[in-house]
Amino acid sequence: GQQLNQSPQSMFIQEGEDVSMNCTSSSIFNTWLWYKQDPGEGPVLLIALYKAGELTSNGRLTAQFGITRKDSFLNISASIPSDVGIYFCAGAVKKSSGDKLTFGTGTRLAVRP
Amino acid sequence: EAQVTQNPRYLITVTGKKLTVTCSQNMNHEYMSWYRQDPGLGLRQIYYSMNVEVTDKGDVPEGYKVSRKEKRNFPLILESPSPNQTSLYFCASSAGTAINEQYFGPGTRLTVT
């Protein structure tokens, strides 16, 4: 099955630092999504991007839909301890039967107080 | 309370013994989907459904079946489970046919011996 290349695999940063992670694919997607997963929970949607070139913010989070439609990045500014978790990108392709979703392998973020 | 429920939450079974994991949502969502999560691989979509009687394969459908006879329910069936299907399974639902905010269930941890 298809998967997205997500990097970095893990990050260990100091509280207050900015964080950047990205996803790349050989395929084009109609929609890019970014999720966060806390331990023992299902993923929660952070940001959805629907157009190539779109730049969207949600509080301290900013994400962009690459103009080639094959990549996306997520930035977290001024990290805090509750940012700890696993971040997943996901690309969606619109089909006649509905939206098919492909996830990245995740970026595990640890924040040192 | 709006929610996605999955049952069972934990299951240990033996190779070849048919099993069903149920998923139900009370939000009148059209779109439902099943994912498996394995260490280092992130989430992978198994099957999805954009509405009643409309289902399609995700990236890893082999060994699984689904049905969508009612809008609220989307069971995942393993006709003959094998050890490589040991995983954490998530069901999710969202409004409309596009990828809007997906609500994830609590997960089902399946072990096949």
pLDDT band at residue B1 using 50, 70 and 90 as cut-offs: confident
Asked if pLDDT for residue B97 goes beyond 70, the answer is no
A59 alpha carbon, distance to own chain's centre:
15
Q: What is the pLDDT of residues B19-36, one digit of tens each?
A: 999 999 999 999 999 999
CB B101 within 8 A of CB B1: no
DSSP label of A104: B
What SS3 class is residue B24? strand
Query: Which parts of chain A have pLDDT scores under 70?
Result: 1-2
Specify the higher pLDDT residue, B88 or A40. Answer: B88
Contacts of B98 in chain A (CB under 8 A): 31, 94, 99
Instruction: Tell me what pLDDT residue B30 has.
Output: 93
CB-based contact A100 B104, cutoff 8 Å: no
Asked if pLDDT for residue B2 goes beyond 90, the answer is no
Average pLDDT across chain B, whole number: 94
pLDDT band at residue B99 using 50, 70 and 90 as cut-offs: confident
| CA–CA dist B1, A27 (Å, integer) | 38
Instruction: Tell me what pLDDT residue A1 has.
Output: 58
Closest C-alpha to A23, from A107, A112, A110: A107
Contacts of B54 in chain A (CB under 8 A): 97-98
CB atoms closer than 10 angstroms to residue A73: 18
DSSP label of B102: P
CB-based contact B45 A95, cutoff 8 Å: no
| CA–CA dist A55, A58 (Å, integer) | 10
CB B75 within 8 A of CB B21: yes
Percent helix, strand, coil in chain B, to 5, is 5, 50, 45
Rounded to a whole number, what is the distance in Å from the CA of A106 to chain B's nearest CA? 6
**Half-sphere exposure for A96 (CA within 13 Å, toward CB):** 0
Task: Find the closest chain A residue to B104 by CA distance.
Answer: A42
**Half-sphere exposure for B9 (CA within 13 Å, toward CB):** 7
What SS3 class is residue A81? helix
Measuring CA to CA, how many Å separate A36 from each of A106, B43, B61? 9, 12, 24
Percent helix, strand, coil in chain A, to 5, is 5, 60, 40
Instruction: Tell me what pLDDT residue B79 has.
Output: 95
Rounded to a whole number, what is the distance in Å from the CA of A101 to chain B's nearest CA? 7
CB-based contact B59 A97, cutoff 8 Å: no
Instruction: Tell me what pLDDT residue B98 has.
Output: 53
Mean pLDDT, rounded, for B61-87? 97
Rounded to a whole number, what is the distance in Å from the CA of A98 to chain B's nearest CA? 5
DSSP label of B30: S
CB-based contact B102 A6, cutoff 8 Å: no
CB-based contact (8 Å) between B59 and chain A? yes
Take residue A58 and report the two structure tokens written for it: 């949600």
Strand partners, B22: B7
Contacts of A106 in chain B (CB under 8 A): 42
Instruction: Tell me what pLDDT residue B72 has.
Output: 97
Contacts of B105 in chain A (CB under 8 A): 42
pLDDT band at residue B101 using 50, 70 and 90 as cut-offs: confident
Instruction: Tell me what pLDDT residue B40 has.
Output: 84
Q: What is the pLDDT of residues B38-62, one digit of tens each?
A: 988 889 999 999 999 999 999 999 9
